[in-house]
Amino acid sequence: MSRTLEYAPAPESRAIVDIKPSYGLFVNGEFVDGTGTSFKTVNPATEEVLAEVAEASEADVDNAVRAARRAYDRVWSRMPGAERAKYLYRIARIIQERGRELAVLESIDNGKPIGEARDVDVPTVAAHFFYYAGWADKLKYAGYGTTPLGVAGQVIPWNFPLLMLAWKIAPALACGNTVVLKPAETTPLTALLFAEICQQADLPPGVVNIVTGAGDTGRAIVSHPDVDKVAFTGSTEVGKAIARAVAGSQKRVTLELGGKAANIVFDDAPIDQAVEGIVNGIFFNQGHVCCAGSRLLVQESVADEVMARLKRRMATLRVGDPLDKNTDVGAINSAEQLAKIRELSEVGEAEGAERWSAPCDLPANGYWFAPTVFTGVSQAHRIAREEIFGPVLSVLTFRTPAEAVEKANNTPFGLSAGVWTDKGSRILSMANRLRAGVVWANTFNKFDPTSPFGGYKESGYGREGGRHGLEAYLKGADQ
């Protein structure tokens, strides 16, 4: 099978971004040196070192929390919602104005295709700030009271660095909280550019503080005694450690964790559309998506046809330079993540599933993994149970809707699911029976700031987005 079309390179210029050789921490409205060591962030598509970034120590985190507390007590919690909204609108507009710069930087630091950073990440980030700006002066109508919690400690992962920042910061600020946020250690650069945007928007010092670092810095934030609210997005393993660390304290917690979503294709589904949805479900953002449709459940009577069309479609995916506007699948975010994807794929083969990878030339440098599909997967296989967090799809079959539900729910996770069918009644009955926070019907991986997102079971608790997303940052209607 070969590609149907060859494209000339169409690289986006990186001249628009100004990456500094080193970065400090953003505390109390200013960039300051850290008191700890530093680490390097690399371009995963080339392994080029992009910058040296401060690793915030406990003392640095303490400074950031103090700055956030002062800003909360003296300015932000006292400011009328309509005034807070003006800052959020201003931030949203600057994000739009600097959208190309943010998209290019996100693509360079993360490895995601520029087309996705430009058309999905950045517009959704701006939309999130616009949306929560609209709530800031209407909190009394939301049903969760109007009293903020105080200082929020927020820790995010590397797969959607700027979008996860927006999901955390926009509702927190709209409700009157101040924040200390830590981006992931492999993707700190857009959060630091966001810090510049806060300066440009004249946000009062201390309302947003960005501290960079790895697990120890994250631990220092979530266990800091003056942090009132912990918001974490990341792996289930670290989420459990955080839940244990804050147990018994007064801190409020929301956890957005891993997933192993079932994407369910019935025999009456429009097959070509479903194939597009399967591809989008698992290969969007290299499969580094918590809600990725990583388990395809396909009705037995159409399984052969779906697989044939899926492989044909996968063979047309262009894997390579993330800054090329034609690229569909970019680089794996880090050497560690690549090792994990390789290991689980080898386990899949060893356990007897059949592996097929799209034919493609992978670049010599950087971290790459060809889009891959496993057939003959059983529910006992590790590739059917564990989150791979890469461009790897496990295919299972079913005969009846009841069997589809049973297999879909047979997972410790419960973040998302997809249903492909021509019947509206079947969509509704499946949505009722699937234990997943989000169920997409005849589409997949659609995000909108007005729509709540979150999990069941080991996918975490709490919701982000929509009116529901305000609940995590307010004391409650009876307070």
Please list the active-site residues. 256, 290
Residue type, 368: W
Residue 389 as a binder of ligand NAD (CB under 6 A): the answer is yes
Name which of residues 43 to 72 contact ligand NAD (CB under 6 A). none
Closest by CA position to 168, among listed 110, 231, 122: 231
Residue 222 as a binder of ligand NAD (CB under 6 A): the answer is yes
Q: Which of 19, 32, 241, 335 binds ligand NAD (CB under 6 A)?
A: 241
**Residues 16 and 107: beta-carbon distance below 8 Å:** no
Closest by CA position to 298, among listed 309, 288, 314, 283: 309
Contact segment (CB under 6 A) with ligand NAD among 3-11, 103-111, 178-186, 199-207 equals: 178-186
First-to-last CA distance in the chain? 63
Helix-strand-coil split of the chain, %, nearest 5: 40, 20, 40
Q: Which of 158, 367, 374, 420 binds ligand NAD (CB under 6 A)?
A: 158
Non-local CB neighbours of 443 within 8 Å, separated by 6+ positions:
277, 418
Q: Which of 51, 64, 126, 242 binds ligand NAD (CB under 6 A)?
A: 242
Residue 238 as a binder of ligand NAD (CB under 6 A): the answer is yes
Contact segment (CB under 6 A) with ligand NAD among 38-46, 66-74, 256-264, 301-309 equals: 256-264
Nearer to ligand NAD, 356 or 461 (CB): 461
Residue 415 as a binder of ligand NAD (CB under 6 A): the answer is yes
Residue 116 as a binder of ligand NAD (CB under 6 A): the answer is no
Count of residues of this chain found to bind ligand NAD when the rule CB under 6 A is applied = 30
The Cα–Cα gap between 311 and 298 comes to 14
- Give φ, ψ of 363 to 5 degrees: -60, 155
Residue 109 as a binder of ligand NAD (CB under 6 A): the answer is no
Mind giving me the DSSP string for 170-234? HHHHHTT-EEEEE--TT--HHHHHHHHHHHHTTPPTTSEEE---SHHHHHHHHT-TT--EEEEES
Residue 214 as a binder of ligand NAD (CB under 6 A): the answer is yes
Angle between helix 189-200 and 99-110 (nearest 10): 160
Pull the structure tokens for residue 416: 């998302």
Cα 474 versus chain centre, distance: 23
Pull the structure tokens for residue 142: 């939301």
Contact segment (CB under 6 A) with ligand NAD among 68-76, 87-95, 113-121, 453-461 equals: 453-461
The least distance separating ligand NAD from the CB of residue 224, rounded to whole angstroms, comes to 11
Q: Which of 157, 161, 206, 330 binds ligand NAD (CB under 6 A)?
A: 157
Pull the structure tokens for residue 265: 């294709």
Residue 185 as a binder of ligand NAD (CB under 6 A): the answer is yes
Residue 387 as a binder of ligand NAD (CB under 6 A): the answer is yes
**Residues 153 and 472: beta-carbon distance below 8 Å:** no
Nearer to ligand NAD, 71 or 257 (CB): 257
Give the number of other CB atoms < 10 A from CB of residue 413: 28
Contact segment (CB under 6 A) with ligand NAD among 53-61, 139-147, 238-246, 471-479 equals: 238-246
Name which of residues 319 to 348 contact ligand NAD (CB under 6 A). none
Q: Which of 258, 293, 320, 466 binds ligand NAD (CB under 6 A)?
A: 258
Nearer to ligand NAD, 85 or 261 (CB): 261
Nearer to ligand NAD, 204 or 287 (CB): 287
Residue 219 as a binder of ligand NAD (CB under 6 A): the answer is yes
Tell me 403's DSSP state.
Answer: H
How deeply is 103 buried, as exposed, middle or buried, from its count of CB atoms within 10 A (0-12, 13-18, 19+)?
Answer: buried
∠ CA 116-120-121, rounded to 5°: 90
Tell me 287's DSSP state.
Answer: G
Contact segment (CB under 6 A) with ligand NAD among 114-122, 128-136, 157-165, 358-366 equals: 157-165
Residue 188 as a binder of ligand NAD (CB under 6 A): the answer is no
Q: Summarize as ranges the residues that interact with ligand NAD (CB under 6 A).
A: 155-159, 182, 184-185, 214-215, 218-219, 222, 233-235, 238, 241-242, 256-259, 290, 387, 389, 415, 455, 459-460
